[in-house]
């Protein structure tokens, strides 16, 4: 296809997507939509953390003499709810909980969903008893929540930081220091007692500082294999064959317990420490592939997730080259997954991608469609794969408009010579929808959860 035809094609597809979008959102004006998608959490309709920081900064810098506390909470064993009832049920729980928060938090409070089942509030109290009273009132209301026809029993883990007179918020970013303090307090909760509330104390800050000075801890954790890699297979929808797998890290920390990525990756990303973890995962994956090759087994391509921090790191390409050469791994057996959001946040994304392409590495755009669609970037650089975010599989996914959007994406990918995989498939209904729109590759709990290496090898590659 010539370049003019290509541009026309991309323009047509963009036009198609825009028309569908206009149909769906015909009553909303464009500006408010953009604003909403930038600041409002899609599931709960609470503010996201960016908006929370802006508003909290305004509130705290205007009302300097008003007492305030910052509250960090999460739902106990929320992962268990998801594993038992599925992701969309989990979303409904989050939505219901957020509504009850909004209705019942004390007047002048601010609230946001931080990530997954983590919420953050600012409430206008500075006495422990008052804070406990307010939060317990809320938890009583939330003890039983009815979702669809099921009654779910909920309990919360809470950390609180009470603002002191001398706390100085010079810049909105300073707020993260206090949010971290509330989060650290919450992370002190180790027992299963329900609705525990822990207030920040200075000794936690000392631990935090040593955690901040994390190199040594991390080095230890890496040396003692506290990070473990699980593998989630990917399948061909037509013949159910395994076509690859995604490596997903977990931190089995002696001090902090068993942690899923969302609990520690955002923290490690703040300090670039994620880079070492990502290289560790890449190394483990290459080691696995080399072992399989040496035993005469036929490995499948494995993807690793790469954090945004790599794009600013000067020796990134050298390091990946050196790991792949050390194990002598053919490039088609490793794929790098980079989330869509990163490409919009960083100026050098296109440059980075061009270098990856020149070096012959396979790259997939992860979470495609999760809210930051990078259609323009598709015009400038090549990706091997588009990894569709699970938001396309919402409850309304069999609705005609979603089908049109999905079909357009598959067509576009075909013309651009990219494969598409849909992640987060949880049910046969979702599988049927995907089949009907021409999707070939899938990944999700419906087929397999992420599993430990030995289980993955024995089930999907060959006997150990
Ligand atoms: P992701 O790349 O979008 O990975 C998919 C996540 O969805 C995984 O969560 C996986 O367990 C989960 N998942 C898979 N199928 C389903 C499903 O059917 N339903 C639901 N509800 N969830 C499903 P996990 O393992 O907790 O990882 C979360 C995120 O952490 C990943 O999201 C990825 O962005 C990041 N991550 C994981 N490992 C690494 C790593 O080694 N390095 C970096 N930088 N990030 C990582
Ligand atoms: Ca991924
Ligand atoms: Ca993803």
pLDDT value at residue 382:
86
Ligand 3 center–CA 368 separation, angstroms: 8
What whole-number distance in Å separates Cα of residue 380 and Cα of residue 34? Answer: 24
More confident residue, 25 or 377: 377
pLDDT of 119 strictly over 90: yes
DSSP classification of residue 349 = H
| Residue 224: pLDDT over 80 | yes
162: which residues sit within 8 A by CB, 6+ positions away?
67, 69, 126, 128, 131, 199, 200
Mean pLDDT of 230-245: 96
Span 256-271, pLDDT tens digits: 667 788 767 877 887 7
Output the average pLDDT for the chain: 86
Atom index in ligand 1 nearest the CA of residue 248 equals 38
The region of weakest confidence among 351-355, 375-379, 402-406 is 375-379
DSSP assigned state of 164:
P
If you measure from the C-alpha of residue 55 to the centroid of ligand 2, how many angstroms do you get, rounded to a whole number?
Answer: 31
- Atom number, ligand 1, closest to the C-alpha of residue 260: 26
Ligand 2 centroid, distance to 359 Cα (angstroms) = 21
Mutate to test the pocket of ligand 1, among 305, 312, 370, 442 (most ligand atoms within 8 A of CB): 305
Beta-carbon neighbours within 5 Å of ion ligand 2: 305, 337, 366
Residue 376 has pLDDT above 80, yes or no: no
Judge whether residue 137 has pLDDT over 80: yes
Name the β-bridge partners of 122.
70, 110
Q: Whose CA is nearest to atom 45 of ligand 1?
A: 305
Higher pLDDT, 13 or 103: 103
Query: What single-letter DSSP state applies at residue 48?
Result: -
Atom index in ligand 1 nearest the CA of residue 307 equals 44
Ligand nearest to the CA of residue 262, numbered in listed order: 1
What is the pLDDT, as a whole number, of residue 166? 62
Q: Which of 31-35, 220-224, 281-285, 327-331 has the lowest mean pLDDT?
A: 31-35
Enclosing H/E stretch for 298: none
Which range is most confident: 198-202, 347-351, 385-389? 385-389
Question: Whose alpha carbon is nearest atom 33 of ligand 1?
Answer: 305
Q: How far is the CA of 37 from the centre of ligand 1 (A)?
A: 22
List of residues 6+ apart from 284 with CB closer than 8 A: 229, 247
Instruction: Give the per-residue pLDDT at 216.
Output: 62
The whole-angstrom separation of Cα 9 and Cα 24 is 23
For ligand 1, atom 3, the nearest C-alpha belongs to 367
pLDDT at 102 over 60: yes
With pLDDT > 70 as the criterion, what percentage of the chain qualifies?
A: 87
**Alpha-carbon distance 78 to 338, whole Å?**
26
Confidence of residue 220 (pLDDT cuts 50, 70, 90): confident
Cα(210) to ligand 3 centroid in Å equals: 32
Q: Determine the Cα–Cα distance for residues 360 and 332; give it in Å rounded to an integer.
A: 9
Q: What is the pLDDT of residue 148?
A: 87
Q: Which residues line ligand 1 (CB under 6 A)?
A: 82, 87, 232, 248-249, 260-262, 265, 274, 278, 281, 305-307, 337, 366-367, 424-426, 444-445, 450
Residue with tokens 């190199």: 215
Q: Pick the residue whose CA is nearest to atom 24 on ligand 1.
A: 261
Residue range 274-299, pLDDT digits in tens: 999 999 999 999 999 999 999 999 99
Q: Determine the Cα angle at 340 with ends 453 and 424, to 5°.
A: 50
User: Which residue stretches of 195-249 are H helix?
Assistant: 202-212, 215-223
- Above 60 in pLDDT, residue 31? no
- How many angstroms is it from 354 CA to the middle of ligand 3? 22
Which of 261, 285, 393 to mutate to test ligand 1, by most ligand atoms within 8 A of the CB atom? 261
Task: State how far the Cα of 79 lies from the Cα of 210, in Å rounded to an integer.
Answer: 29
- Residue 212 burial (CB count, 10 A): 14
Strands 69-75 and 156-162: what pairing? antiparallel
Average pLDDT over residues 405-416: 91
Q: What is the pLDDT of residues 160-192, one digit of tens each?
A: 999 886 677 777 777 888 898 898 899 888 777
Range of lowest pLDDT (1-10, 292-301, 338-347, 352-361): 1-10
Q: Given this model, what pLDDT does residue 400 score?
A: 78
Which stretch, 252-261, 379-388, 390-399, has highest mean pLDDT? 379-388
Residues 31-40, mean pLDDT to the nearest whole number: 68
In this prediction, residues 188-199 reach a mean pLDDT of 86
């Amino acid at each position: 296809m010539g370049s003019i035809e290509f541009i026309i094609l991309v323009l047509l597809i963009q036009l198609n997507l825009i028309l569908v979008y206009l149909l769906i959102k015909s009553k909303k004006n464009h500006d408010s939509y953009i604003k909403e998608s930038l600041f409002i959490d899609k599931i709960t309709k609470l503010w996201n953390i960016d908006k929370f920081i802006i508003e909290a900064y305004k509130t705290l810098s205007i009302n300097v003499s008003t007492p305030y506390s910052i509250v960090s909470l999460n739902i106990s064993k929320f992962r268990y709810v998801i594993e038992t009832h599925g992701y969309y049920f989990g979303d409904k729980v989050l939505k219901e909980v957020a509504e009850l928060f909004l209705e019942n938090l004390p007047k002048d409070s601010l609230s946001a969903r931080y990530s997954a089942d983590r919420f953050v509030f600012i409430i206008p109290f500075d006495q422990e008893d008052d804070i406990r009273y307010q939060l317990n009132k809320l938890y009583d209301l939330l003890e039983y929540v009815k979702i669809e026809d099921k009654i779910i029993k909920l309990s919360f883990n809470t950390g609180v930081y009470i603002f002191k007179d001398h706390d100085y918020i010079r810049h909105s970013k300073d707020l993260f220091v206090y949010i971290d303090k509330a989060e650290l307090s919450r992370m002190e909760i180790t027992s299963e007692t329900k609705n525990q509330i822990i207030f920040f104390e200075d000794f936690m800050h000392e631990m935090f500082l040593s955690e901040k000075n994390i190199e040594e801890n991390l080095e230890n954790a890496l040396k003692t294999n506290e990070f473990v890699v699980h593998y989630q297979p990917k399948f061909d929808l037509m013949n159910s064959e395994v076509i690859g797998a995604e490596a997903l890290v977990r931190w089995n920390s002696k001090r902090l317990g068993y942690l899923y990525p969302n609990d520690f990756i955002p923290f490690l990303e703040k300090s670039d420490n994620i880079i070492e973890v990502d290289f560790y995962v890449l190394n483990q994956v290459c080691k696995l592939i080399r072992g399989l090759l040496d035993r005469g087994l036929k490995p499948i391509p494995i993807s690793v997730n790469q954090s945004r921090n790599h794009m600013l790191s000067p020796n990134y390409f050298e390091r990946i080259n050196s790991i792949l050469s050390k194990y002598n791994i053919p490039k088609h057996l490793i794929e790098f997954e980079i989330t869509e959001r990163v490409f919009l946040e960083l100026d050098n994304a296109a440059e980075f991608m061009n270098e990856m392409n020149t070096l012959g590495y396979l790259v997939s755009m992860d979470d495609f469609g999760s809210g930051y669609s990078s259609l323009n970037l598709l015009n400038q650089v090549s990706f091997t794969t588009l990894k569709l975010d699970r938001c396309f599989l919402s409850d309304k996914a069999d609705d005609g408009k979603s089908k049109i959007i999905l079909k357009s994406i598959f067509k576009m990918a075909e013309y651009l010579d990219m494969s598409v995989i849909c992640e987060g498939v949880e049910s046969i209904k979702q599988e049927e929808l995907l089949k009907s729109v021409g999707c070939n590759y899938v990944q999700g709990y419906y087929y397999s959860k992420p599993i430990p290496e030995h289980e993955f090898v024995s089930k999907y590659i060959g006997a150990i």
